[in-house]
Structure 1
Amino acid sequence: MATVTHADDTRRDPRRWWALGALVASMLVLAFDSTILNVALPTMAGQLGATTGQQQSMADAYIVVFAALMLPAGLLGDRFGRRRMLIAGLAVFLGGSVLGSLAGDVNAVVAARAVMGVGAALIMPLSLSVLPAMFGPDERGRAISLITAASALGMPLGPLVGGFLLNHFWWGSVFLINIPMAALGTAACLFLLPETRDPATPKVDAVSTALTAAGLGTLIYAIIKAPDRGWGDGLELAMFAAAALLLGSLVLRERRMTRPMLDMGLLTHRGFLLNTVAATLVMFVLSGLMFAVPTYLQAVLGHDAFGTGLRLLPMMAGLMIAAKLGHPLTARFGARAVVSAGLVVLAFAALLGSRTTVHDGYGFTALWLSVTGLGFGCAMVPAMDGALGALPAERAGSGSGLLSTVRQVGGAIGVALLGSLLAGAFRDRLDVAGLPGPAAHAAKESVVAAHVVAAHTGSAQLAVSANTAYVHGMTLVLIVCGIASLLAALLAALLLPSAPPVRATEPEGTPAVTTVASAAADGGQ
């Protein structure tokens, strides 16, 4: 028999930290799944006969579906129960992982990745939305620090875990690694996580959901493909126009509805809007860094996939320090000061990294990666805490869905824009003099392709030129990241609220959030 308790009772429940552990494990899986497939693609391409375009489809299916469905997923959690939808997301993610491990052709892998994206879309926003019910304002920052650390830790862990698995098992093992983690998360959610919902949430509108998913999916897909096709390509322009039409139709439809599914009023909360913008700019910068640095470590410094993931860990050290110091610093100096300082540190790290040369060893890279993690943690954690804390607790699901979606779009834009800048700079600087036309064209595709051509032709000069050209492109990317971080720091210092946000509450004696504890959870009290 279910019982109803106040949110304050849940916040005093000692099991909340065990429940947070389940959420951290879930977020860790999502994070390294966004990068783990990259190291497996060459092996999968050889065994499945996948073309370059098919490899891109295998990688992109996950992130496109993931980003497109996060907003509806947050609303479903608000209405039908966040724990219930979170468990459903973990189950879907587990099912997609099983399908991926059993796939025998490219289409099956693409379908499995899309199914995993559906599960991830439920897991990401709902993992954040349950935090206000589990932790009070004094503990929420620490909880967000741990979830943010798990998300960031997963990015370099993807190549690290993927490289280890590929060295010892077949390519399907990169999917199987998700199964025990998802199963553990599901069990923990069943027994430890309280159920929260908002009965007043508007009904899920099928047309608005379709417009949201189709519009965001088209936008993200167009952004991902733009560096390859070109921003002025006819198909790209058509996709951007279609995305604008779909999302514009969504806004018009929602504005006409008495009880809109997508509450545009969320954006009227100044603290939510500005902190979301700050978190998105941090993701833009971090995505650019994480796009450029692994290839530098692999192609220029010559490390394998496992060694590359290992050498990205100094960034995690900086992030862990920031996660430990972030909450007390925010309590003492305020979120505005800490977010602004974190962005300045991130800018310093990017500009320091832009001084990297072909002849520098790994030590210098480890130094500025550590500073990057420190800046990222100091900026991201209080920004996310401020965004969630500015919303009424009953709108936590839809608010975190919007926050997660905007951050995901910011990351995709960062990869697309900065990746396009890196590719263009590399092609312009690469010296292919004396190479036959087809070989020269192949060498300009990427620094990895240039090294393959250099090995086939025996051209040591081409290999040196490829390294120099790539470092030149990475330098430009890091300079842009540094400038973007400084501008974001200025905006944060000028516009972010100086005082911690005060959560909207109901009159005294009325619970801000209704918490439904399952009979299984009651047994542990």
Structure 2
Amino acid sequence: MPAVMNAGKERGAGPDPRRWWALSALVASMLVLGFDMTILNVALPTMAAQLGASTGEQQWMADSYVIVFAALMLPGGLLGDRFGRRSMLVAGLGLFMAGSAVGVLVHSVPPVIAARAVMGLGGALMMPLAMAVIPTLFGPEERPKAVGAIAAASALGLPLGPIVGGWLLDHFWWGSVFLINIPMAGIGILACLFLLPESRDPAAPRVDAISAALTGTGLGALVYGITEAPSRGVADPLVLGAVAAAVALVAALVRRDRRARRPMLDVALLADRGFLLNTLAATLVMFVLSGLMFVLTPYLQAVLRYDAFGTGLRMLPLMGGMIVAAKGAQPLVARFGARGVMSAGLTVLAFAAFLGSRTGAVPHHLQGVGATPTGYGFTALWLSVAGLGAGFTVVPAMDAALGALPADRAGSGSGLMLTLRQMGSALGIALLGSLLAGAFRDRLDVTGLPAPAAGQAGESVVAAHLVAARAGAERLAASADAAYVHGMNLVLLVCGGVALVTALLAAALLTGPAGVRPGPGGPRGGPRPAGDMAAAQVDGRE
């Protein structure tokens, strides 16, 4: 418990010599979470082919994790505070491992969706608690290094996910992208049990299970309505009912949290213009990136015919651009202010998306059956530019959002911002994936195919290629490629429009060079460095 550990330190007890080994286990856990944010993207085309998954089912395989993660991340942190951070971290790792084990063993789409949801539950415990146990291991001098190591592990997992996933898929079956999680989670459990001290906060507020349920069901209902719209039609009663239910559930959540003395999601913070606009910018970048990655991997695998490992490697320009820009953002913010850097980053992201929307319709081996192909070199170009734009936006936006709040509200603001970013990811996959599915189905030429085969071909570009291979219909395969690229280009146009509108809003509505409202001292005077804010939150000062 914290009281026991602090008393020991006051009596002159030295730091735990095993603390760096414990940190290694936490780093491995965060690396697994980083993997899982991107590893499934490269696996979806393979899973679609072997499981017969439609585009909508692929959306659910990706979104089930994100929805549960977004709804339960804040309650997960509170559970650790009340019942023991080590215990809940072990529980999170156990759930993540159990969900991965189910993913390894199943052979149909619904159990995969369920497995991903269980993994999201585990991740919702792991993410906040891995940071929360840092103060029990490290003093103020070592704490920034520990925080940086965990943050770096999570960031490193993003580019490694597609590469590791691609290599596994080229050598093993699709379940291997789940299998890799099991030994790493198992090692994390053992390390937590033997190396981490238990800690809790007896004064922590109770978990608001009703708010968590409203968040999860509201977001889930909205995603369901959006995902089903391309196949059922926008006016379908089930689609309209799901969207109406989502609106009602979210409204109930807002009413409940406004009346609560200590709300789980403090939506009143959105009344601050600086916090709202900066959080909106960070959320919309996640919306764009999640949708972009969802539509990109089928293009690389099904249209350009790269294998899974080659696809993972070819997604590196996006990740590389993000990492480079994130590293270089802080000096630019110090010189030009967060508002200028954010607006420029969003404009660059919009330019990249508009550039990508000029992608040709068919690869080289099918020339003569459609528009002139552009090849991967063009894709690498706009991916790199998109990564730079995203990186130059997210870091300043997150810093400025928290800098717009009083110090005693920064903790609540951080939780709300992280939750909204996850919601942005879920909605990006749902909305942009549905736009792609509808455009693909409308553009695909299934003339001459029997009705069952035509219906199967319209489910996804992978399914269309399978039907074409069975029927020996090369023209159907070419039509599928052209239809998919048409849908992808529409998605990129929407992404560009969203980024450009957000850039204009940021430039017009954010006040001051820092993008926050000026105020008398404290965080409102401007954004603080990300490392300082992270250390402050981990230290319990915010």
User: What TM-score bracket applies, with the shorter chain setting the length?
Assistant: 0.7 to 0.9
Residue in structure 1 matched with residue 351 of structure 2 by the alignment: 348
Residue in structure 1 matched with residue 293 of structure 2 by the alignment: 290
Residue in structure 1 matched with residue 219 of structure 2 by the alignment: 216
Pairwise CA distance, 1:277: 0.5
- Are residues 1:485 and 2:499 paired? yes
Residue in structure 2 matched with residue 472 of structure 1 by the alignment: 486
Output the amino acid matched with 1:306.
F
Output the amino acid matched with 1:242.
A
- Are residues 1:432 and 2:446 paired? yes
Output the amino acid matched with 1:496.
L
Flag the 1:489–1:110 CA change in 2: closer, same or farther, 3 A.
closer
Partners of 1:399 and 1:76 lie apart in 2 by 19
- Are residues 1:35 and 2:41 paired? yes
SS of aligned partner of 2:359 = coil
Selected match of 2:181 from 156, 161, 178? 178
Selected match of 1:371 from 385, 403, 408? 385
Pairwise CA distance, 1:207: 3.1
Output the amino acid matched with 1:442.
Q
- Are residues 1:153 and 2:159 paired? yes
SS of aligned partner of 1:2 = helix
Selected match of 2:400 from 377, 380, 386? 386
Partners of 1:144 and 1:376 lie apart in 2 by 21
SS of aligned partner of 1:3 = helix
Output the amino acid matched with 1:176.
L
Flag the 1:472–1:266 CA change in 2: closer, same or farther, 3 A.
same
Report 1:261-410 matches (<5 A). Answer: 261-357=264-360, 358=362, 359-391=373-405, 398-410=412-424
Q: Is the 8 A contact 1:144 1:381 kept in 2?
A: no
Q: Is the 8 A contact 2:51 2:107 kept in 1?
A: no
Pairwise CA distance, 1:391: 4.8
Partners of 2:304 and 2:392 lie apart in 1 by 30
Q: Deviations over 1:184-203 (max 9, x none)?
A: 55677789999998776532
Pairwise CA distance, 1:338: 1.4
Flag the 1:201–1:108 CA change in 2: closer, same or farther, 3 A.
same
Pairwise CA distance, 1:377: 0.9
The answer to which of 395-404 and 274-283 deviates more is: 395-404
Q: Deviations over 1:39-59 (max 9, x none)?
A: 55247638xxx8998777655
Output the amino acid matched with 1:426.
F
Q: Is the 8 A contact 1:19 1:189 kept in 2?
A: yes
For structure 2, the 5+ residue unaligned runs are 363-372, 517-521, 526-534
Residue in structure 2 matched with residue 417 of structure 1 by the alignment: 431
Output the amino acid matched with 2:353.
A
SS of aligned partner of 1:455 = helix
The answer to which of 144-153 and 294-303 deviates more is: 144-153
- How many residues align? The count is 499
Partners of 1:496 and 1:188 lie apart in 2 by 46
Pairwise CA distance, 1:71: 3.9
Q: Is the 8 A contact 1:346 1:372 kept in 2?
A: yes
CA RMSD of superposed structures (Å) = 4.2
Residue in structure 1 matched with residue 463 of structure 2 by the alignment: 449
Q: Is the 8 A contact 1:58 1:109 kept in 2?
A: yes
Q: Is the 8 A contact 1:281 1:485 kept in 2?
A: yes
Q: Deviations over 1:15-57 (max 9, x none)?
A: 79979845752441331355365255247638xxx89987776
For structure 1, the 5+ residue unaligned runs are 506-510, 517-525
Pairwise CA distance, 1:282: 0.8
- Are residues 1:499 and 2:499 paired? no
Partners of 1:102 and 1:70 lie apart in 2 by 27
Structure-1-length-normalised TM-score: 0.79
Seq. identity, %: 60
Pairwise CA distance, 1:263: 2.8
Partners of 1:86 and 1:445 lie apart in 2 by 39
Partners of 1:182 and 1:393 lie apart in 2 by 35
Q: Deviations over 1:197-219 (max 9, x none)?
A: 87765322333333333333333
Q: Deviations over 1:93-143 (max 9, x none)?
A: 12322343355776654543322110122234556788999899x999988
Pairwise CA distance, 1:489: 0.8
Q: Is the 8 A contact 1:299 1:447 kept in 2?
A: yes
Q: Is the 8 A contact 2:222 2:243 kept in 1?
A: yes
Residue in structure 2 matched with residue 169 of structure 1 by the alignment: 172
- Are residues 1:232 and 2:235 paired? yes
Output the amino acid matched with 1:461.
R
Q: Is the 8 A contact 1:76 1:204 kept in 2?
A: yes
Q: Deviations over 1:479-503 (max 9, x none)?
A: 2211211111111222335337744
Structure-2-length-normalised TM-score: 0.77
Pairwise CA distance, 1:84: 6.1
Which one has more relative contact order, counting CA pairs under 8 Å at least 6 apart?
1
